[in-house]
């Protein structure tokens, strides 16, 4: 551009991005676009550099607690001028039968970035080992066999679940689902279910700006159930993990849009177990970029 006063060419003013999609929020430095259901982030006018948090759906509880959905963070990604597809994973569904492992959560994904994998379902009674997932589910109880939690697979998105700790007689405690920040707890006594693995609060500033998460945490594991009355079920991990239950009491579902695992049930048909919580995707970029 020619400066008419000096006759010297001035450098062009760089274009700024125009961004739409999701729910808009902000803090002093960044804009945030939050997706709690499937959608599209549209970038026009200029490419955009953004940080992206992707959390998958949590696994459902059975006897053992459900594992948290996988959590992935992508730093300083260059997003081209395009419509970028956002997929939000749903929480896993309890099976309602004591012999089966409950359902895994579904995957979440932003555009072509690596998938965040759904959390593993909790193991059923009759000594079912749990399913692998972003974080693994908790191993079941109610039989004379030691159970193990599900693995965190693929690695790097969460942690493994716990098992029944070798407590194989009544009152049959179960293990807890893993969380993004810690493994799921084993049953710690003959009448105490494992506590859900804690999630991550690394992104607490994101949670605060967008009013999402669970007290600054995402992706906590579900607590393990216990069969007999007078026992203590496992607590849910911070980050939306559901608490386990004793006997016929209802376990807690994983919290919606945190990727939390569902709590495990002490009831031998697992109909009282908790479903997993759905996932979330948040895109963050500098205010000066738009």
Residues 64-77: tens digit of each pLDDT: 999 999 999 999 99
102, pLDDT greater than 80: yes
Q: How far is CA 17 from the centre of its chain?
A: 30
Could you give the CA distance from residue 106 to residue 90 in angstroms, rounded to a whole number? 5
User: pLDDT band for position 125 (50/70/90)?
Assistant: confident
Phi, psi (degrees; rounded to nearest 5) at 204? -65, -30
Question: Looking at per-residue confidence, does 204 or 144 come out higher?
Answer: 204
How large a percentage of the chain has pLDDT more than 90? 81
Give 187 or 9, the one with higher predicted confidence. 187
Write down the pTM of the prediction. Answer: 0.94
Exposure letters 8-41 (e unless 16+ CB within 10 A, then b): eeeeeeeeebebebbeebeeeebbbbbbbeebeb
What is the predicted pLDDT for the residue at 27? 98
Q: What is the reported pLDDT for 115?
A: 97
Report the SS3 class of residue 48.
Answer: strand
Least confident of 98-102, 132-136, 138-142: 98-102
Whose structure tokens read 């409950």?
Answer: 102
Work out the mean pLDDT of the chain and round it to a whole number.
93
> 85: which residues sit within 8 A by CB, 6+ positions away?
38, 40, 109, 110, 111
Check residue 2 and give its pLDDT.
46
The arithmetic mean of pLDDT across residues 158-187, rounded, is 96
Question: What pLDDT score was predicted for residue 260?
Answer: 98
Strand boundaries in the chain, DSSP class E: 18-20, 23-26, 30-35, 39-44, 48-55, 71-79, 82-87, 109-110, 280-286
Q: Which of 31-40, 95-104, 237-246 has the lowest mean pLDDT?
A: 95-104
pLDDT of residue 4: 53
Contact assessment for residue 179 and residue 239, using Cβ atoms and an 8 Å cutoff: yes
| For residue 253, pLDDT beyond 90 | yes
């Amino acid at each position: 551009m020619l400066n008419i006063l000096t006759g010297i060419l001035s450098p062009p003013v760089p274009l700024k991005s125009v961004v739409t999609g999701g729910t808009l929020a902000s803090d002093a430095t960044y804009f945030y676009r939050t997706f709690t259901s499937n959608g599209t982030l549209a970038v026009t006018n200029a490419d955009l550099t953004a940080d992206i948090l992707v959390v998958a759906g949590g696994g459902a509880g059975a006897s053992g607690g459900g594992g948290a959905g996988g959590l992935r963070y992508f730093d300083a990604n260059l997003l081209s001028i395009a419509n970028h597809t956002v997929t939000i994973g749903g929480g896993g569904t309890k099976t309602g039968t004591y012999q089966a492992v409950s359902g895994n959560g579904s995957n979440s994904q932003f555009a072509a970035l690596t998938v965040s994998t759904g959390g593993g379902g909790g193991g059923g009674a009759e000594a079912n080992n749990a399913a692998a997932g972003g974080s693994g589910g908790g191993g079941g109880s109610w039989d004379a066999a030691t159970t193990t939690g599900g693995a965190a697979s693929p690695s790097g998105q969460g942690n493994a679940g716990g098992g029944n700790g070798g407590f194989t007689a009544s009152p049959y405690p179960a293990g807890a689902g893993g969380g993004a920040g810690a493994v799921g707890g084993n049953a710690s006594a003959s009448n105490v279910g494992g506590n859900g693995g804690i999630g991550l609060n690394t992104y607490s500033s994101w949670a605060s700006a967008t009013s999402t998460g669970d007290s600054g945490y995402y992706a906590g594991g579900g607590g393990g159930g216990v069969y007999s009355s007078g026992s203590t079920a496992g607590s849910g991990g911070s980050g939306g993990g559901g608490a386990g239950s004793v006997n016929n009491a209802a376990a807690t579902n994983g919290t919606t849009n945190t990727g939390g695992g569902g709590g495990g049930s002490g009831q031998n048909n697992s109909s009282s177990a908790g479903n997993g919580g759905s996932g979330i995707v948040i895109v963050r970029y500098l205010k000066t970029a738009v």
